[in-house]
Amino acid sequence: MKRVLFSVLGAAAVFAGVTPAAAGDRYADRPPVMVSPDLSAPWVLQLGNAPGIVRQNRQVVQQPRLRYAQPAQPDRVQTAAVQAPAKRMVMRPQINPIYLPQEVAYDGPQKPGTIVIDTTQNFLFLVEKNGKARRYGVGTGKPGFEWSGTHKITNKREWPDWRPPAQMIKREAAKGRYLPTYLAGGMENPLGARALYLGTTEYRIHGTNQPWTIGGAVSSGCIRMRNEDVVDLYERVNVGTTVEVI
């Protein structure tokens, strides 16, 4: 009995000799904690489009002093908040510079002031004098929605409202995507900043809230432009301008 008691007391004395400071010495330089995108995904979904988030330098975010000065769970929120906007920016495609506006040589038969849309190359030309044209990149009809023909601009609208055709609403609903019957003009409107209406058709030359789609066959027949480009074109042409789609 005495031998057992001595062993217990001896062990207690050994542990008593280790001070709290000594116990924490090995954590003086704690390694950074990495949070993978998969683990942070639930937090990103909760944060949504949180305004005012600025990406910090990764070394600053991972400083042990910052990471251990607060509980682990809020720290994970901070890490996700810092990294999420950068992740979205990286994943979003950038427009090819070839589709940015530029002056080009043009030898087509159309008269100056005519708009010519090449749906094969995804370019819109505003024919100018002296063998020149102003060229813009556009998005055109996806497979099954291509068309060609000549029309006049019959109307012009700034920040147009959008009323999807009934056929489009039905077609998208079959895919599980439900469109509104009416959407007021604004930044979230797929018609963008300006619209030029073509003849009596449902087709338009218009802006977009998805500028990264410019240069592709992406629409239901309309001609998409970057908002800044359609604003520029809008100021250069009038109702009655001929539009030739080839």
pLDDT at 81: 41
Q: Are residues 106 and 85 in the same domain?
A: no
Domain boundary among 91, 107, 133: 91
Cα–Cα distance for residue pair 182/160, rounded to 1 Å: 11
For residues 119 and 64, state if they share a domain.
no
pLDDT higher for 39 or 118? 118
pTM: 0.62
Structure confidence by residue, pLDDT tens digits, 65-89: 333 333 444 444 444 444 444 545 4
Structure confidence at residue 57 as a pLDDT band (50, 70, 90): very low
**E strands present in 30-162:** 102-105, 115-118, 123-127, 132-137, 140-141, 149-158
Model confidence pLDDT, tens digit, residues 160-184: 998 888 888 898 899 898 888 889 9
End position of a domain, from candidates 91, 123, 143: 91
pLDDT tens profile 185-215: 999 899 999 999 999 999 999 999 999 999 9
Q: Tell me the percentage of the chain whose pLDDT exceeds 70.
A: 63
Q: Is the Cβ–Cβ distance between 228 and 187 less than 8 Å?
A: no
Name the pLDDT band for 12 (thresholds 50, 70, 90).
very low
Provide the percentage of residues in the chain whose pLDDT is more than 90: 52
* Same domain for 80 and 182: no
The count of domains in the chain is 2
Query: What confidence tens digit (pLDDT) does each residue in 91-102 have?
Result: 567 889 999 999
Task: Specify the pLDDT at position 53.
Answer: 32
We report the CATH number of the domain holding residue 115 as 2.40.440.10
Q: Would you state the structure tokens that stand for residue 153, as one six-digit string?
A: 């601009």
Residues 102 and 222 in one domain: yes
Residues 50 and 170 in one domain: no
Q: Which of 209, 199, 212, 224 is nearest to 145 (CA)?
A: 224
Categorize the per-residue pLDDT at 54 as very low, low, confident or very high, splitting at 50, 70 and 90. Answer: very low
- Check residue 197 and give its pLDDT: 98
> What mean pLDDT is predicted for residues 227-244?
98
Domain span at residue 181 reads 97-245
Residues 166 and 189 in one domain: yes
Task: Transcribe 11-61 into DSSP letters.
Answer: HHHHHHTS-HHHHHGGGTTPPPPP--HHHHHHHHHHH-S-TT--PPPHHHH
Nearest to 239 by CA among 111, 125, 153, 113: 153
Are residues 46 and 131 located together in one domain of the fold?
Answer: no
For residue 21, is pLDDT > 70? Answer: no
Co-location of 213 and 110 in the same domain:
yes
Query: pLDDT at residue 28 above 50?
Result: yes
162/202 Cα distance (integer angstroms): 11
Closest by Cα among 230, 149, 153, 144 to 193? 230
Same domain, 154 and 235: yes
Band (154; pLDDT cuts 50, 70, 90): very high
The pLDDT value given to residue 172:
87
**Claim to verify: residue 148 and residue 48 sit in the same structural domain:** no
Choose the final residue of a domain: 91, 114, 137.
Answer: 91
- Taking residues 232-246, report their average pLDDT: 98
